[in-house]
């Protein structure tokens, strides 16, 4: 199944192999602009026959960057470089998405940082400001503007980063959201920011929309996959096409049990109980594992992170192991 196509809306991916978004911390200055690194790194995976490449967490505001070297999409000036990137990837036969992100309290940049409540992530991070209603309104607009720019730049997919303890995740989790207004308190109100961001993005974007979540907070008072079944139903009702299921990082604690494909069970639960399309991610390096996640109906797509850093030609490696014929780029015919 790994090498079968997958269609969402008007988009058909040539296979189910997705490059997981990974920060490259590679911008030359603090401009957030695409440079030669990005223009070599991402298209290499297209040459390697990855079906969909999701560009790293790209900041919707300067203070929403994880680091000062992150890519940005907070200004119209970012569109030109991003357009070049989408064109390079398209020219090598792959599709390309972008992860729109706001780091919230995990931002490691100068100046004030923002979060639902004024609680630092750990002793190395600064204490964020609790967001005012104006901050929230501005942030929702920033996501919508970023979606407009992503469309102008020619992306095929938008993924909202609502995982790993960044801003949207901080609103969802009761561990980090101690607000008492319309954006905090019970489960409904903690969903409000994501709700509003999805609605605002959809005003600008009619293409496939993914949301990456952390399905488990790994804390007795935190969110669990059961909570996310409900949130996944809401996202689906709002028109989200696929939930990319990661976990953890809301708190510094690491997941108790990490093994190949350890998050796929969460993707499976959401797919079954909320009847949404899912992506599975997390130590998927073996082609047989990727294949079995898809064949057993745990997920619709598999996302690979670090393995695609090590082996940009992983689809070729996988095809060989699975006994599938994978056409090479024409110029590699003699050496594939």
Positions touching ligand FNR (CB under 6 A) are: 20-23, 56-57, 99, 161, 163-164, 212, 246, 281-284, 304-307
Alpha-carbon distances of 99 from 56, 57, 252, 269, rounded to whole Å: 6, 5, 22, 23
Q: Give the nearest distance from C-beta 315 to ligand FNR in angstroms.
A: 14
Q: For ligand FNR, which is the closer residue by CB, 154 or 305?
A: 305
Q: What pairs with residue 192 in β-bridges?
A: none
CA dist 330 and 312 (Å) reads 17
168 vs 179, beta carbon nearer ligand FNR: 168
Q: SS3 of 97, please?
A: strand
Alpha-carbon distance of 203 to 232, in angstroms, equals 20
Decide the pairing of beta strands 11-13 and 6-8: antiparallel
Residue with tokens 């998050």: 263
Number of H helices, E strands in the chain: 10, 12
Task: Kindly state the smallest distance separating residue 321's Cβ from ligand FNR, in Å.
Answer: 17
Give least dist CB 307 to ligand FNR, A.
6
Find the shortest distance in angstroms from Cβ 111 to ligand FNR.
21
Closer residue to ligand FNR in complex, CB, 196/307: 307
Label the pairing between strands 157-162 and 209-214: parallel
Which residue from 263, 207, 267 is spatially nearest to 232, judged by alpha carbons?
Answer: 267
Which residue, 116 or 282, has its beta carbon nearer to ligand FNR? 282
What is the separation of C-alpha 296 from the centre of its chain, rounded to a whole number of angstroms? 23
The 10 Å Cβ neighbour count of residue 77 is 12
Looking at the Cβ atoms of 200 and 302, the one nearer to ligand FNR is 302
Buried b (16+ CB within 10 A) or exposed e, 28-59: eeebbbbeeebeebbbbbbbbbbbbbbbbbbb
Q: How far is the CB of 56 from ligand FNR (least distance, A)?
A: 4
**Least distance from C-beta 166 to ligand FNR, angstroms?**
8
- Which residue's CB is nearer to ligand FNR, number 309 or number 326? 309
Which residue number, 184 or 285, has a Cβ lying nearer to ligand FNR? 285
Let me know: does 276 contact 231? Beta carbons within 8 Å: no
Q: Tell me the C-alpha distance between 64 and 104, whole Å.
A: 6
Question: Distance (Å, rounded) from C-alpha 94 to C-alpha 233?
Answer: 30
What φ, ψ does residue 70 adopt, rounded to 5°?
Answer: -70, 155
CB of 254 to ligand FNR, least distance (A): 12
d(CA 71, CA 56): 8
- State in angstroms the smallest separation of the CB of 281 from ligand FNR: 5
120/123 Cα distance (integer angstroms): 7
Which of 192/246 has CB closer to ligand FNR?
246
Nearest CB to ligand FNR, comparing residues 57 and 200: 57
Q: How far is the CB of 159 from ligand FNR (least distance, A)?
A: 8
Q: What residue is closest to ligand FNR based on CB?
A: 305
């Amino acid at each position: 199944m790994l090498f079968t196509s997958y269609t969402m809306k008007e988009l058909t991916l040539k296979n189910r192999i997705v490059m997981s978004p990974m920060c490259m911390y590679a911008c030359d200055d603090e401009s957030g602009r695409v440079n030669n690194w990005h223009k070599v790194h991402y298209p290499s995976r297209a040459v390697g026959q990855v079906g969909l490449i999701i560009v790293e967490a790209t900041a919707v505001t300067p203070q929403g960057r994880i680091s000062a070297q992150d890519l940005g999409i907070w200004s119209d000036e970012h569109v030109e470089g991003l357009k070049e990137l989408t064109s390079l990837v398209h020219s090598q036969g792959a599709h390309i998405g972008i992860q729109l992100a706001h780091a919230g309290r995990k931002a490691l940049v100068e100046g004030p940082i923002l979060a639902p409540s004024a609680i630092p992530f750990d002793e190395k991070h600064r204490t964020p400001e609790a967001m005012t209603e104006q901050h929230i309104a501005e942030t929702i607009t920033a996501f919508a503007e970023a979606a407009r720019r992503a469309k102008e730049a020619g992306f095929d997919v938008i993924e909202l980063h609502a995982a790993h303890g960044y801003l949207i995740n901080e609103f969802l989790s009761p561990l980090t959201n101690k607000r008492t207004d319309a954006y905090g308190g019970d489960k409904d109100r903690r969903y409000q920011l994501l709700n509003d961001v999805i609605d605002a993005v959809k005003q600008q974007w009619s293409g496939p929309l993914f949301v990456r979540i952390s399905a488990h907070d790994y804390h007795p008072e935190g969110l669990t996959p059961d909570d996310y079944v409900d949130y996944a139903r809401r996202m689906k009702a709002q028109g989200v096409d696929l939930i990319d299921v990661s976990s953890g990082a809301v708190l510094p604690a690491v997941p108790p049990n990490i093994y190949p494909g350890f998050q796929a069970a969460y993707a499976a639960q959401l797919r079954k109980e909320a009847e949404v399309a899912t992506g599975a991610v997390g130590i998927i390096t073996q082609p047989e594992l990727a294949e079995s996640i898809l064949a057993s109906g745990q997920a619709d797509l598999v996302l690979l992170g670090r393995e695609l850093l090590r082996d940009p030609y992983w689809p070729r490696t996988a095809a060989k192991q699975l006994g599938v014929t994978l056409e090479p780029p024409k110029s590699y015919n003699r050496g594939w």
